[in-house]
Structure 1
Amino acid sequence: MSDIKLYDTRAFTGKFMPSEELHAFFRGDVGKFFIMRVEDMYQFVTRAVPASRSTITSCLYITEGEASIKIGSELYTIHADEMLFVPAGQVFSFREGEINKGYICGFQSDFLVGKLLKNNLLNEFDFLKIWGNPMIQPDRQSAEFIRRLLTRLLIDYSQNGLQNLDLLQSYLLTLLCEVNRIYRPASGSGPVTGVTITNRFRELLFKWIRTKKRVTEYASLLNITPNHLNKTVKAVTGKSPTRWIDETVLLEAKVLLSQTNLTVSEIALEVGLDDPSYFTRLFKKYEHQTPSEFRRMIEKS
Structure 2
Amino acid sequence: MMQQNFESNSLFELYQHLNLPVNLIDTAEGFSIFNLKEVGFELPYQSTPYRPNFFSFLFIKEGAGNYTIDDYSFEVKAHSVYFTNPSNYRTFCWKKIEEIYLITFDEVFLKKYISKEIFNTFPFLLTETVKPKIVTDEFYESVEKVYLQIRSEYIGSSVHKYKIIGHLLAVLFFKIKEYFWQDYNPIYEGNRSSQIVKSFKQLLERHYRDLSSDKVETVFRVQDYAQAQNLHPNYLSSVIKSKTGKSIATWIAEKTISEAKALLENSSISIKEITFKLGFSEAAHFSNYFKKHTGTTPVRYRKEISESK
TM-score range normalised by the length of the shorter chain: 0.5 to 0.7
Alpha-carbon separation, structure 2, partners of 1:120 and 1:174? 15
Report if the CA contact (8 A) 1:86-1:92 is conserved: no
The equivalent position to 1:154 in structure 2, one of 146, 151, 158, is 151
Cα distance, 1:98 vs structure 2: 3.7
Deviations along 1:71-109, one digit per CA (max 9) or x if unpaired, are 343211121221111102442211254444220110111
Q: List alignment gaps of at least 5 residues for structure 1.
A: 2-12, 208-217, 230-240, 253-301
| 1:35-50 equivalences in 2 (<5 Å) | 35-43=33-41, 47-50=45-48
Report if the CA contact (8 A) 2:55-2:104 is conserved: yes
Aligned residues: percent identity? 15
Alpha-carbon separation, structure 2, partners of 1:91 and 1:72? 7
Q: RMSD of aligned C-alpha atoms?
A: 4.7
Alpha-carbon separation, structure 2, partners of 1:48 and 1:181? 33
Report if the CA contact (8 A) 1:63-1:102 is conserved: yes
Against the structure 1 CA distance between its residues 77 and 160, is the aligned structure 2 distance closer, same or farther, given a 3 Å change threshold? farther
| 1:1-301 equivalences in 2 (<5 Å) | 23=20, 31-43=29-41, 47-114=45-112, 117-131=114-128, 133-160=130-157, 163-184=160-181, 199-203=194-198, 222-223=229-230, 248=243
Which structure carries more relative contact order (alpha carbon 8 Å, separation 6+)? 1
Alpha-carbon separation, structure 2, partners of 1:195 and 1:139? 25
Alpha-carbon separation, structure 1, partners of 2:71 and 2:42? 26
Cα distance, 1:138 vs structure 2: 2.7
Alpha-carbon separation, structure 2, partners of 1:29 and 1:219? 39
Q: Which residue of 1 aligns with 2:7?
A: none
Report if the CA contact (8 A) 2:43-2:96 is conserved: no
Alpha-carbon separation, structure 1, partners of 2:38 and 2:154? 15
Alpha-carbon separation, structure 2, partners of 1:224 and 1:169? 38
TM-score (norm 1): 0.54
Match of 1:131, as an amino acid?
A: E
Report if the CA contact (8 A) 2:126-2:201 is conserved: no
TM-score (norm 2): 0.52
Secondary structure at the aligned position of 2:50 is classed as: strand
Alpha-carbon separation, structure 1, partners of 2:154 and 2:181? 30
Q: List alignment gaps of at least 5 residues for structure 2.
A: 2-11, 203-224, 247-309
Match of 2:63, as an amino acid?
A: G
Report if the CA contact (8 A) 1:19-1:44 is conserved: no
Alpha-carbon separation, structure 1, partners of 2:17 and 2:193? 39
Cα distance, 1:53 vs structure 2: 1.4
Report if the CA contact (8 A) 1:37-1:104 is conserved: yes
Report if the CA contact (8 A) 1:36-1:103 is conserved: yes
Alpha-carbon separation, structure 2, partners of 1:45 and 1:34? 22
Alpha-carbon separation, structure 2, partners of 1:91 and 1:205? 18
Report if the CA contact (8 A) 1:85-1:127 is conserved: no
Alpha-carbon separation, structure 1, partners of 2:152 and 2:199? 39
Q: Which residue of 1 aligns with 2:210?
A: none
Against the structure 1 CA distance between its residues 142 and 56, is the aligned structure 2 distance closer, same or farther, given a 3 Å change threshold? same
Match of 1:73, as an amino acid?
A: D
